[in-house]
Amino acid sequence: MTTLAPMRPAYGEALVELGRAREDVVALSADVSNSDFSWQFAEAFPERFLNVGISEQSLVDVAVGLAYTGYVPFANTFAFLLATRALEMVRTHCCYGGAPVKLMGAYAGISDSFDGPTHHAITDIAIMRALPGMTVVSPADTTAVAKLLPQVADWPGPVYMRLNRNEVPVLFDDSYAPEIGKAMTHRGGSDLTLVGTGLMLSRCLEAAEDLAAEGVDARVLEVHTIKPLDEAAVRAAAAETGALVTAEEHTIVGGLGSAVMEAVAEESPVPVVRVGIRDTFATTGAYMDLLEHMGLGTKDIVAAAYRALAAKGR
């Protein structure tokens, strides 16, 4: 039986922990702190919390000013707003200007399922990944949030961190030791590799179980850092297993799947089958229902694995 744990309080607590460890950490929110859970930081450190109101462009620009003056600002709001409304600020100051702002993308993917497509973020990886100088991090569970957040603070440049709104399967215990920029193999296998990020990693692990029952030996590679992509690990998986499946709660255009394809196509081309949203907006409904509806189920990963194996055999 899978244990679930809620991502938002895990993030809120990790941010408070960071604030306790470092007094140069400041948190900002565009009046959604009770959604993004920066309210926990606001309660612990009211003098280091800024509510900028409904002004996401100013959210990023103010954070840029803080970063240029020696603080480590964590700018919180919905992922889609950071990636779209505030994008020019992110590009100009965080990426070109080098302001090491930490952009915390709440409600990423379709995890804000009931608020509908206006509130989903299904293009944020593609957008952020395209920017020179940006780092894109996508934790898979609550432990991953706690382990990665201090590294995000230490990282010398800007970081975009993608955060799920909901309860997600607990995958890791305290021995989990991620490092930004390094992919992690969570299951060995030789027939193909399932490459997952965020919530979809748990589904890759489930799919690998299902495949094993059918005699297919699937490796599972976690890519918690989509940029800079651990190209060596991806290419090694391609060379050693001969086929890849990518799984992400994001459109298939420009996200993890695209990054993996780019990495393997140049030096070690193998079939890569992408599991993701098929270049369309989602709809409104319960999260689990929507994931299935949008083709992000475990069975979709299994089906993709067979397609990849078939292509590998040709």
Partner 1 sequence: MHQHTDELALDIARRAQRLRIDVLEMVCRAQSGHLGGPYSAAEILAALYFHHLRLDPARPDWPERDRFLLSKGHAAPILYAVLARRGFFGVEELETFRRYPTRLEGHPDRKLPGVEMVAGPLGHGVAVGAGMAWALSRGMPKPSAASAPSAFASRARVVVLLGDGELGAGVVWEGAMFAAKQRLGNLTAIVDYNGIQQTGATADVMPTEPIAEKWRSFGWHVQEVHGHNVREVLDALDRADEVHARPSAIIARTTKGRGVSYMEYDHRWHGGLVPNADQREQALAELRASLAELGEEERA
Q: How close are the terminal C-alpha atoms of the chain, in Å? A: 38
Beta-carbon contacts of residue 292 (< 8 Å; ≥ 6 apart) = none
Residues 3-22 that bind partner 1 (CB under 8 A): 20-22
Q: Which among 275, 194, 198 is positioned nearest to 237, based on CA atoms?
A: 194
Does 134 help bind partner 1 (rule: CB under 8 A)? no
Contact 171, 202 (CB under 8 A): yes
- Quick one: 69 or 175, whose CB is closer to partner 1? 69
Nearest-5° Cα angle at 184, 183 to 186:
150
- DSSP assigned state of 108: -
Residues 266-295 that bind partner 1 (CB under 8 A): none
Which of 97, 117, 169, 228 touches partner 1 (CB under 8 A)? 97
Residues 32-91 that bind partner 1 (CB under 8 A): 47, 50, 52-53, 55, 57-58, 61-73, 88-89
Q: Token digits for 96?
A: 């070109």
Beta-carbon contacts of residue 239 (< 8 Å; ≥ 6 apart) = 268, 270
Residues forming the active site: 56
Smallest gap from residue 26 Cβ to partner 1 (A): 8
Query: Rounded CA gap, 105 and 303, in Å?
Result: 30
Contact 51, 33 (CB under 8 A): yes
Which one of the spans 93-101, 143-151, 178-186, 250-258 is the region binding partner 1 (CB under 8 A)? 93-101
Smallest gap from residue 159 Cβ to partner 1 (A): 17
Smallest gap from residue 40 Cβ to partner 1 (A): 17
H-helix segments, 24-123: 33-36, 39-44, 56-68, 79-83, 87-89
Contact 15, 44 (CB under 8 A): no
- Quick one: 67 or 110, whose CB is closer to partner 1? 67
Query: Rounded CA gap, 248 and 196, in Å?
Result: 6
Query: Rounded CA gap, 172 and 176, in Å?
Result: 6
Query: Rounded CA gap, 192 and 216, in Å?
Result: 8
Smallest gap from residue 149 Cβ to partner 1 (A): 16
Does 92 help bind partner 1 (rule: CB under 8 A)? yes
- Quick one: 52 or 291, whose CB is closer to partner 1? 52
Smallest gap from residue 126 Cβ to partner 1 (A): 21
- Quick one: 67 or 229, whose CB is closer to partner 1? 67
Smallest gap from residue 141 Cβ to partner 1 (A): 28
- Quick one: 87 or 282, whose CB is closer to partner 1? 87
Kindly state the number of chain residues that form the binding site for partner 1, as judged by CB under 8 A: 32
- Quick one: 65 or 188, whose CB is closer to partner 1? 65
Q: Token digits for 59?
A: 């959210």
Which of 27, 36, 87, 93 touches partner 1 (CB under 8 A)? 93
By CB under 8 A, name the binding residues for partner 1. Answer: 20-24, 47, 50, 52-53, 55, 57-58, 61-73, 88-89, 92-93, 96-98
